[in-house]
Chain A
Amino acid sequence: MSYELSFEVERGDFETAGEASRKIKRTLQQLGISNKVIRKVSIAGYEGEMNLAIHSWGGKIVLEVGEDTLILTIEDTGPGIKDLDLAMTEGWSTAGEEVRQMGFGAGMGLPNMKNNADNFQITSKIDEGTKIVMSFLV
C-alpha cells in the first residue's frame, strides 16, 4: 500500500513557508514512522520548500510513503542551476539580498538535503527547472 501527499509552493511564498514540512511531519507521525526518519524528512522538506520559494518560479513537493521507503520529490520550473557541483558545496548561494535579509538563503540547502537523505538525485536544466528526488529508508 502506498500513500501520496503533495503541495504546491509559489515563488516568494514566505508567509506559508514551513507549512508543507509541518504537514509532512504530522502525517508521518500519524503513520507511525520513527522520529529519527521524520526529523530527516522534515529538514530536507523544509530546505526544499525554501528553495522553491527563493530560487524557483514555483513548484511542487510530493511525498510518497511506501512500506519501507519514503520518497520526497521537489520539482520546480525555474532558472535551473548552472553548476551543480558548485551548488552542492556548503555555503554557496544565489539568493538575492532581500531574501538573505529575511534570514533565508544561507546556501546550505542542497548539501543539507543530501546529508539527511539516504539517496539523493538532482537534475537541472537551464531555464527549465530543477528536480530533486530523495529517498529515506523507514
Chain B
Amino acid sequence: MEKLLHSVYLDEEKCLGCTTCLRSCPTGAIRVRGGKAIINESKCIDCGECIRICPHHAKLAKTDPLSLINDFKYKVAIPAPAIIGQFKTKYSFENILSAIKALGFDEVVEVAYGAEVVGQALKYEYHAKRYPKPLISSACPAVVKLIQVRFPELTDNICRLKSPMAMTARLVRKRLRDEGNYKNSEIGVFFITPCAAKATMVNNPASSEYDKYDQIDGAIAIKDIYPDIVKNLNDCNIQEGIHNTTPEAFSWALSGGECEYLKNKNVLHVDGIQNVINVLDEIECGKLDTIEFFEGLACIGGCVGGCLTVENNYVAKMYIQDRAKKMKQTSTIHMPDEYVKSIYNSGMMHIKERILPRSPEPLDQDINKAIEKMKQIEILEEKLPGLDCGSCGSPGCRALAEDIVAGKAKEIDCVFVLKDRVRDLSVLTNELLQVEHPTEKPVNKKPEFSE
C-alpha cells in the first residue's frame, strides 16, 4: 500500500456536496468546491467525524483488505482492545479470538497485551524529567495530531512511549525471532483497527515509531471482517490459552482505561473530539495546573466509538465492563513488574524523536502583510451575513472571508451576497429598459396611430 499522510478520503461519486460534513470537522479541513467535499491533507487529523456524519457515506477510511495477509508465510492478527466490545458476553474471549484466527491467521495476539506493558510502564515514564506537566497520553493518534496542529505549545507534553499496537507487534516479532522458525520478513502482522487514525499510523508511521521489528504490515477495519467473525463464532475450534490479558488492559478500549494505570495521580480523561479541544484549551492557557496526566480520546466513549467499529459505543462499553467485572472476581494476574521494567529499560519502548508542532501556515510570512490580510478578512467578514450556513462551501462566514483573501473563493460564493448582486443587477436592468433611446423604436409599445 502506498504511504498515506492520512486515511480519510472522499468517494467523489457518492458525494452530493450537501455540506453536512463541513462544520463537523474540528480542524476546518473540509471545503466543498465544485460540488465535492475536498479534504485539506495538511489539516486532516483522521478523527473520523466526517465519516460518521456523512448521510451519503461518501467519506471513507483507507484500510487494507484481508486478502493482503496471503503475502506472508506466517500471519498474525493483533486486534485492538475494542474488538471485545463488538460481541455479546455469551461468547468467551477464546471464542472470539479463535473466530478471528479462523479467518486465515496463524496466530492472534490481543493489542491489550501491549497495552498492559505500556500501562505498567507509564508509572516509570511519568517521572521522566523531559515532560512539562501534565503528561499527555499518546494513545489516540487523532488527538496527537490535533495537538500538533492546534495546540503546538503542548507537543512536548505528549508521552513518548510507543503505542500498545506497536509494542504488541514488537513483542510478537521478538518471540517469533527467538523461536527461529520464520524470518522477520516472512511474518505479517496485521492490526485489526477500530478507526482511521490508527490505520494512518500503520501505513504512515511517524518516522521513528517503527523499525522492522515493530513493523505492522496492514490495518484491517473491524467492520470489514465483522460479518466473517460472526459466522465463525459458532463453528470454529476454540483454542484454549489464546487469551491472556487483564481487565485493565482490555479496558484501554474505554475512555479512562489508560488512566487506571496512574490511579494515585491527578488524572483527567476526556472523550469526544470537541470535548478534548475544550479541555486542551484550558490546559494550554494554564488553567488546569493541578492535572498530572491527561488522556484525551477522539471518539465518544473511547476506541469503542471508533468510526470503523460495528456495535454502538455504549453497548460495547457495557460488554467490556461486564467482562472486566467478571474477570476481576476470579482474580487477575498482572504481568510481573520485573518483566515490564526490563522492557522499559531496554529502550525499545520509546519513540526517539520529539513530537513536533505542525502549526497552521500564517496568513503571510511577513507580519506586515499578514496584518494587511487580517484587516481585509475582517472587512469581508463584516459584509457577510454571519449565518455560518456553509452554503458557500466554507465552514462559516469567517472561513469564507479567509478563503477569499487566500484567493481560494469569491465573494459571490456566498448565496446572500449573490442574491443581493442579482437584485442590484435586476434593478439596473429594469432601469435600462425604462430608458428610451431617441433613435430607437419603443420596444413594447404599440404604434400610436391606427388604420
Chain A residue with the shortest CB-CB distance to B152? A35
Q: Give which listed residue, A2, A18, A36, A138, contacts B153 with CB less than 8 A.
A: A36
Q: A1-B372, A27-B374 are in contact. Are A32 and B284 (CB under 8 A)?
A: no
- Which residues 46-61 of A sit at the B interface, judged by CB distance below 8 A? 46-47
Which residues on A sit within 8 Å (CB–CB) of B285? 18, 21, 25, 42-43, 45-46
Chain B: interface size category? 20 to 34
Contact A38 B363 (CB under 8 A): no
Contact A39 B374 (CB under 8 A): no
Q: Give which listed residue, B286, B363, B367, contacts A43 with CB less than 8 A.
A: B286
Does chain B have a CB within 8 A of A15? no
CB distance from A62 to the nearest CB of B (A): 15
Contact B284 A39 (CB under 8 A): yes
Could you tell me the distance between the alpha carbons of A59 and B211 in the complex, rounded to whole angstroms?
56
Contact B281 A32 (CB under 8 A): no
- Which residues 335-394 of B sit at the A interface, judged by CB distance below 8 A? 357, 359-360, 362-365, 367-368, 370-372, 374-375
CB distance from B316 to the nearest CB of A (A): 33
Chain A residue with the shortest CB-CB distance to B402? A30
Q: Give which listed residue, A21, A22, A30, A38, contacts B374 with CB less than 8 A.
A: A30
Could you tell me the distance between the alpha carbons of A31 and B378 in the complex, rounded to whole angstroms?
14
Contact B153 A32 (CB under 8 A): no
Contact B286 A31 (CB under 8 A): no
Contact A39 B153 (CB under 8 A): yes
Which residues on B sit within 8 Å (CB–CB) of A93? none
Q: A35-B153, A35-B357, A65-B371 are in contact. Are A30 and B284 (CB under 8 A)?
A: no
Does chain A have a CB within 8 A of B424? no
Which residues on B sit within 8 Å (CB–CB) of A31? 362-363, 367, 370-371, 374
Contact B359 A42 (CB under 8 A): no
Contact A67 B368 (CB under 8 A): yes
Does chain A have a CB within 8 A of B287? yes
Contact B281 A3 (CB under 8 A): no
Does chain A have a CB within 8 A of B282? yes
Q: Give which listed residue, A18, A32, A138, contacts B362 with CB less than 8 A.
A: A32
Which residues on B sit within 8 Å (CB–CB) of A22? 281
Contact B281 A18 (CB under 8 A): yes
Contact B286 A112 (CB under 8 A): yes
Q: A1-B368, A31-B367, A32-B370 are in contact. Are A46 and B362 (CB under 8 A)?
A: no
Q: Give which listed residue, A3, A21, A33, A67, contacts B375 with CB less than 8 A.
A: A3
Which residues on B sit within 8 Å (CB–CB) of A121? none
Could you tell me the distance between the alpha carbons of A25 and B151 in the complex, rounded to whole angstroms?
10
Per-residue contact bits, chain B 240-280, to A (CB 8 Å; 1 contact, 0 not): 00000000000000000000000000000000000000000
Chain B residue with the shortest CB-CB distance to A32? B362
Could you tell me the distance between the alpha carbons of A27 and B372 in the complex, rounded to whole angstroms?
13
- Which residues 13-30 of B sit at the A interface, judged by CB distance below 8 A? none
Which residues on A sit within 8 Å (CB–CB) of B371? 1-3, 31, 65
Contact A46 B364 (CB under 8 A): no
Could you tell me the distance between the alpha carbons of A39 and B367 in the complex, rounded to whole angstroms?
18
Could you tell me the distance between the alpha carbons of A47 and B289 in the complex, rounded to whole angstroms?
13
CB distance from B273 to the nearest CB of A (A): 16
Which residues on B sit within 8 Å (CB–CB) of A1? 367-368, 371-372
Contact A29 B375 (CB under 8 A): no
Q: Give which listed residue, B286, B365, B374, contacts A46 with CB less than 8 A.
A: B286
Per-residue contact bits, chain A 64-77, to B (CB 8 Å; 1 contact, 0 not): 01010000000000
Chain B residue with the shortest CB-CB distance to A30? B363
Which residues on B sit within 8 Å (CB–CB) of A39? 153, 284
Which residues on B sit within 8 Å (CB–CB) of A2? 371
Could you tell me the distance between the alpha carbons of A42 and B152 in the complex, rounded to whole angstroms?
13
Could you tell me the distance between the alpha carbons of A29 and B374 in the complex, rounded to whole angstroms?
11
- Which residues 129-172 of B sit at the A interface, judged by CB distance below 8 A? 152-153
Contact A29 B281 (CB under 8 A): no
CB distance from A18 to the nearest CB of B (A): 6
Contact A32 B357 (CB under 8 A): no
CB distance from A106 to the nearest CB of B (A): 9
Chain A residue with the shortest CB-CB distance to B369? A1
Could you tell me the distance between the alpha carbons of A103 and B374 in the complex, rounded to whole angstroms?
35
Contact A29 B153 (CB under 8 A): no
Contact B286 A32 (CB under 8 A): no
Greatest chain B CB density within 10 A among A21, A35, A38 is at: A35
Could you tell me the distance between the alpha carbons of A109 and B399 in the complex, rounded to whole angstroms?
33
Could you tell me the distance between the alpha carbons of A65 and B368 in the complex, rounded to whole angstroms?
10
Contact A35 B359 (CB under 8 A): yes
- Which residues 117-138 of A sit at the B interface, judged by CB distance below 8 A? 138
Per-residue contact bits, chain B 161-190, to A (CB 8 Å; 1 contact, 0 not): 000000000000000000000000000000
Which residues on A sit within 8 Å (CB–CB) of B360? 29-30
Q: Top 10 closest A-B pairs, CB basis?
A: A32-B362, A46-B285, A39-B153, A1-B368, A43-B286, A3-B371, A35-B152, A42-B285, A31-B370, A1-B371
23 A–B pairs (Cβ distance < 8 Å), ordered by A: A1-B368, A1-B372, A2-B371, A3-B371, A18-B285, A25-B284, A25-B285, A29-B359, A30-B360, A30-B374, A31-B362, A31-B367, A31-B371, A32-B364, A32-B365, A32-B367, A32-B370, A35-B359, A39-B284, A42-B285, A45-B285, A46-B286, A67-B367
